Amino acid sequence: MSSSGTAIIILLGTVVGIGVVIFVVATVLNIQKNRRQRFLKVIQGRHENKSGKDKKIITQDQRRAEIAKKLKETGEQEKAKEGSVLPQLIMQTGMNITVKQYWIGSAIFAFIATFIAVISGQSAFMTILIAIISFMGIPRLFLKMKAKSRQKKFLDDFADALDSMGRLLKSGMPVSEAVKMVAREFTGPVGEEMSRVYDEQKVGISLPDAILNSAKRMPLPEMQMFATAVAIQAQTGSSLSEVLVNLSNMIRARFRLKRKIDALSSEAKASAMIIGALPCLVAGGMYLINPDYIEVLFITSKGNFVLGAAVFWMFIGIIVMRQMINFKV
């Protein structure tokens, strides 16, 4: 087969790969959109009874509709603040830095990485690519990983904190004092967030608003449920202790289900890691055994093109395998 025919086949394969990526991303976004709409309908207390093409929407309670309206207004306010994603991400990590300090640190890190690339003899294209990734990509990835780690530590102690708060409320202690006791007894993210909630109460912010602010710093479904429960209790005067105990039991049930899913999908995850690492291991072993045989991919233009196509397809395969074994509870 001629070189032009090979180039055409590789180009068609690349176009098909891009189409697959676009299809996967569109499918994921559509699923998330449908899930948000379904959650909103449940919050608003609406059920759809389908009989052929006819749909009947039944409103259950006026009070629940008012709460749903407030939640919807809050969601619209959050959408209006899409330009402040970076400050929210920094706030979720628990780090006491400003956006300006973040950009200064990113610039210093990018300068060091670019300097290392220049003295190591990298090409101009590779040097520019390293500079962009070091300035825009790696620092933001670090923030996301730190925020995720903090959320995981928060969930590990949140169920126990809710149990403690429920027992304190059953003994007759006010909600604000129960929050203070939890902030004093627990360390880590749970103690920090409850301490902030108590401090915001001291400056005049209501308890539902203070917990809602904490839910923005800790964007977890469990924290959103806690904020909703406190808001409903403040309006209706219902028993908050029973709600907190039920919420803690639900969190523990989610933990058990998550561990069961991790155990069932561990074999698939191990297989995916082995398959993803196999090309790199084979290429490294080939380089140690016969460097001249593998250097063709790095020193010739056709080799660079084939190597780039292989990396692209490996990336698509990793994304597909990750979507297949990534279960969210």
Whether residue 113 is contained in a domain is answered as no
Whether residues 156 and 205 share a domain: the answer is yes
Whether residues 189 and 260 share a domain: the answer is no
Whether residues 239 and 280 share a domain: the answer is no
Q: How many CB atoms lie within 10 A of CB 113?
A: 17
Whether residue 51 is contained in a domain is answered as no
Whether residues 265 and 211 share a domain: the answer is no
Burial class for 265, CB neighbours closer than 10 Å (0-12, 13-18, 19+):
middle
Whether residues 181 and 235 share a domain: the answer is yes
Whether residues 166 and 195 share a domain: the answer is yes
Q: State the pLDDT at residue 112.
A: 92
Whether residue 133 is contained in a domain is answered as no
Asked which of 217, 251, 285 is the last residue of a domain, the reply is 251
CB within 8 Å of 165: residues ≥ 6 apart: 178, 179, 181, 182, 241, 244
Q: CA 66, 71, 73: angle at the middle one, nearest 5?
A: 95
Contact indicator for 150, 92 with CB cutoff of 8 Å: yes
Q: In this predicted model, what pLDDT tens digit does every residue of 161-201 receive, in sequence order?
A: 888 888 888 888 887 788 888 888 888 888 888 888 888 88
| pLDDT grade for 83, boundaries at 50, 70 and 90 | very low
Task: Give the separation between CA 223 and CA 14, rounded to whole angstroms.
Answer: 43
Whether residue 34 is contained in a domain is answered as yes
Whether residue 17 is contained in a domain is answered as yes
**How far, in whole angstroms, is CA 236 from its chain's centroid?**
33
Supply the range of the domain harboring residue 31: 1-43
Whether residues 259 and 210 share a domain: the answer is no
Q: In this predicted model, what pLDDT tens digit does every residue of 209-226 receive, in sequence order?
A: 888 888 888 888 888 888
Q: State the pLDDT at residue 31.
A: 64
How many domains, in total, are found in the chain? 3
Whether residues 302 and 235 share a domain: the answer is no
Whether residue 226 is contained in a domain is answered as yes
Supply the CATH number for residue 202's domain.
1.20.81
Residue 62 has pLDDT above 80, yes or no: no
Whether residue 263 is contained in a domain is answered as yes
Please report, to the nearest 10 degrees, the dihedral formed by the alpha carbons of residues 34, 36, 38, 43 taken in order: -170
Whether residues 303 and 318 share a domain: the answer is yes
Whether residues 233 and 260 share a domain: the answer is no
Whether residues 246 and 299 share a domain: the answer is no
Asked which of 231, 251, 271 is the last residue of a domain, the reply is 251
Q: In this predicted model, what pLDDT tens digit does every residue of 254-313 receive, in sequence order?
A: 878 888 888 888 887 888 888 888 888 888 888 888 888 888 888 888 888 888 888 888
Whether residue 136 is contained in a domain is answered as no
Torsion region of 188: left, alpha or beta (phi above 0 gives left; psi -120 to 50 gives alpha): left
Residue 247 has pLDDT above 70, yes or no: yes
Residue 69 has pLDDT above 60, yes or no: no
Q: How is 232-247 classified by DSSP, letter by letter?
A: HHHHH---HHHHHHHH
Q: CA 245, 250, 252: angle at the middle one, nearest 5?
A: 95
Exposure string (b/e) for 208-241, b if CB count within 10 Å is 16 or more? bbbbbbbbbbbeeebbbbbbbbbbbbbeeeeebb
